[in-house]
């Protein structure tokens, strides 16, 4: 069997990853944009709304609305910036951390069930090796 062309593999991989990503997102209870903000705060800690906007590549006004919604839900809180009195930091609340963990659990749970139901042991081994290769490509 000839080695597949990189462009063909890339096209198939992009399509498959998109379909899988969309399917996993069906398990969401929190809108994707809000989950992204919660995830960023979980990984990177407290930050300004402007820094969040830059991280998520959205306009500051859009991020301000998202932050407001998350605050109304009690998923994040605001505190004074330690060195700049004109700014404030937003951070994940305990409720936000719990909601994020539940969201991640739903996604992983569905995917784990699908892997168990659909794939043979050999296919699971192949998928595990593929995940490592995808991580390597993402780090490039």
pLDDT in tens, 67-83: 999 999 999 999 999 99
Yes or no: say if 90 and 41 are a contact pair by the CB < 8 Å rule: yes
pLDDT per residue as tens digits for the range 41-56: 999 999 999 999 999 9
pTM: 0.71
Does the CA dihedral 121-123-126-132 come out positive or negative? negative
Token representation of residue 100: 């994020």
Mean pLDDT of 110-114: 93
DSSP state of 42: H
- Domains recognised in the chain with CATH numbers: 25-138 (1.10.10.10)
What is residue 29's three-state secondary structure? Answer: coil
Yes or no: say if 88 and 81 are a contact pair by the CB < 8 Å rule: yes
């Amino acid at each position: 069997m000839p080695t597949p062309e990189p462009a063909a593999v890339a096209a198939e991989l992009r399509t498959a990853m998109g379909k899988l990503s969309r399917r996993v997102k069906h398990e969401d209870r929190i809108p994707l944009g809000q989950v992204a903000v919660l995830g960023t705060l979980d990984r990177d800690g407290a930050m300004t709304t402007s820094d969040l906007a830059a991280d998520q590549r959205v306009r500051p006004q859009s991020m301000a609305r998202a932050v407001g919604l998350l605050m109304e839900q009690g998923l994040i809180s605001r505190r004074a910036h330690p060195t700049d009195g004109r700014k404030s930091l937003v951070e994940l609340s305990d409720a936000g951390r719990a909601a994020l963990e539940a969201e991640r659990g739903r996604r992983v749970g569905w995917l784990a069930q699908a892997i168990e139901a659909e794939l043979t042991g050999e296919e699971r081994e192949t998928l595990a090796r593929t995940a490592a290769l995808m991580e390597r490509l993402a780090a490039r």
